[in-house]
Amino acid sequence: LAGTSARHSPRFKMEKKVLQADAIPPTWLISTIIALTAVGVVPSLTYHKSGERLKLWPPSPLAINLVLAGLGCIATLYIIPGFRQMFIKAGLYGIDLNKNTTKRDKDGALVRDENRKIIGIKISEANGVISGMMFLVIMFLYIPFAFADYYPQGPESFPHMKLTEFVTALLSIACMCFLGFADDVLDLRWRHKLILPTVATLPLLMVYWVNGGVTYVMVPNFLTGILGEAIDLGVLYYIYMGALAVFCTNAINILAGVNGLEVGQSVVIALSILANNLVQIQRLTHENRRENHMFSIVFMIPFLATSSALLYHNWFPSHVFVGDTFCYFAGMTFAVVAILGHFSKTLLLFFIPQIANFLYSCPQLFKFIPCPRHRMPALDPKSGSIGMSFCEFKPDSLHPLGRLIYKTFRNLRFVYVEPIADKKGWVRMNNLTLINWTLFVLGPMREDWLTIALLSEQVACTGLAFVIRYKLAALLYNVVE
């Protein structure tokens, strides 16, 4: 086999050992989670809905949320390894193609068995359903505490409308987890992936309509003379919210293919949302708008807790795969807090890498340039590094628009192109994904370093998003809230 020496290397033995282990979390990790939870709980003990300082006991709902999130994180860390073999026995597994533990022939091509299945260590799939279900358990347990400040005031003042929105948000997330798991089991087509998030948002959109949610958007300064200060989009706003859920779920799903990337980018986005919420709570004076961001915070903290636990098991070398379930769960959670928290445009700013990846991928997604089934980067068995993956085609045979895109990308050096020696007129071009573009710019690297590079791009774009949101927006709007 190619890479035989690599299969006896310490790196190969380390990968095999980790992949076959139960991956029980170490004591230091549990201690760190407890410490971080305690650090977060102390300043939040007396923070109640209006931000006023009250007595130390009973603790504030935010403190309860942090404690539940910490416990949920620890539980998720232990539950995931317990379901690994169960998922594999049920046929929910995959083979990590970018590992030396996957069998290859002398030319480096993947080896298949008599059933045409790739030979390698089985990695359990769809483990995102575990983090999703644990998130829902945390949030269900949190419901009595979320409205504790209203109990002394009597049933007449209880905010039933807010409770309805809270429960409906969880219903939409639960629906998305179920539909995402169905996708992992049934391997649905892409056209179905566009429909599922729309179905899952129906409860949220209907409650939003019943509660008289706003459907207007502010108009930039240079258009106020024509359109006024705001314009009511009506039903178009609901279409926009449904499209937001579709985009968030599929954007995370498209930017994938290396260990830890799906969960890692979701953790960075969640941290960005949380930072924005904290900034807005300090800036805003209107109580309802502050509560909108508090609503987002109590969703983001448990999401970060359960997702971080999943990231521990999904980091290189991956012990489990997250599956489409996690991408659907994460995308819907982001869409829910942005819609009900009324910061959907800000959310899109945190998706700059995902938007760039989608736009860069469009020529292949819409078949103007040949698109192979898998566009993930490729492993060099000898060096163990990850490099670009390629598609092969004859430029003259492309659609006219495809030829224009190809020539533009080549001239602007957005792609790597080389002629194929034994095929006259044919070329090899890197597949159009942000992952391959990063490898084109930085060169081949180890898989975990590739994930770190991509997450660094996500963090850098978050900084750009905050500049746009709080600095450049002031040039277009009189009031930036």
DSSP labels for 351-414?
THHHHHHHHHHHHHHTTSS---S--S-EE-TTT--EE--EEEE-GGGS-HHHHHHHHHHHHTT-
Of the pLDDT bands very low, low, confident and very high (cuts 50, 70, 90), residue 19 is very low
Of the pLDDT bands very low, low, confident and very high (cuts 50, 70, 90), residue 302 is very high
Smallest CA-to-CA distance from 49 within 212, 292, 280 is with 292
And the tokens for 61?
Answer: 């709902």
Cα separation, 63 vs 37, in Å, equals 9
pLDDT, tens digit, 9 for 90 and up, residues 234-259: 889 999 999 999 999 999 999 998 99
Nearest-5° Cα angle at 74, 73 to 79? 95
**Number of other residues whose CB lies within 10 A of the CB of residue 196:** 24
> What are φ and ψ of residue 123, in 5° steps?
-115, 125
Sheet holding 417-419, edge to edge: 390-393, 427-430, 417-419
The answer for residues whose C-beta is within 8 angstroms of residue 405's C-beta and 6 or more apart is 363, 368, 369
Residue 119 has pLDDT above 60, yes or no: yes
**How many residues are present in the chain?**
481
And the tokens for 457?
Answer: 């791009």
pLDDT over 90, % of the chain: 54
Alpha helices in 211-234 (DSSP H): 224-227
Q: Widest CA span of the chain, in angstroms? A: 81
Q: What is the pLDDT of residue 37?
A: 79
Burial class (CB in 10 A: 0-12, 13-18, 19+), 157: exposed
Nearest-5° Cα angle at 163, 282 to 276? 25
Q: Locate tokens 């992936």: which residue?
A: 193
Q: What is the mean pLDDT of residues 280-303?
A: 90
| Cα end-to-end span (Å), the chain | 61
Cα separation, 464 vs 29, in Å, equals 32
Smallest CA-to-CA distance from 316 within 364, 261, 365, 274 is with 261
pLDDT, tens digit, 9 for 90 and up, residues 130-159: 999 999 999 999 999 988 878 777 777 888
> Taking the model in full, what pTM does it have?
0.90
Residue 419 has pLDDT above 90, yes or no: yes
Residue 481 has pLDDT above 80, yes or no: no
Q: What is the pLDDT of residue 45?
A: 56
Cα separation, 332 vs 241, in Å, equals 11
3-state secondary structure of 306: helix
Residue 197 has pLDDT above 90, yes or no: no
pLDDT, tens digit, 9 for 90 and up, residues 152-185: 777 778 888 889 999 999 999 999 999 899 889 9
Cα separation, 380 vs 3, in Å, equals 9
Cα separation, 230 vs 284, in Å, equals 20
| C-alpha dist (Å) from residue 160 to 119, 142, 154, 334 | 55, 16, 12, 23
Q: What is the pLDDT of residue 288?
A: 82
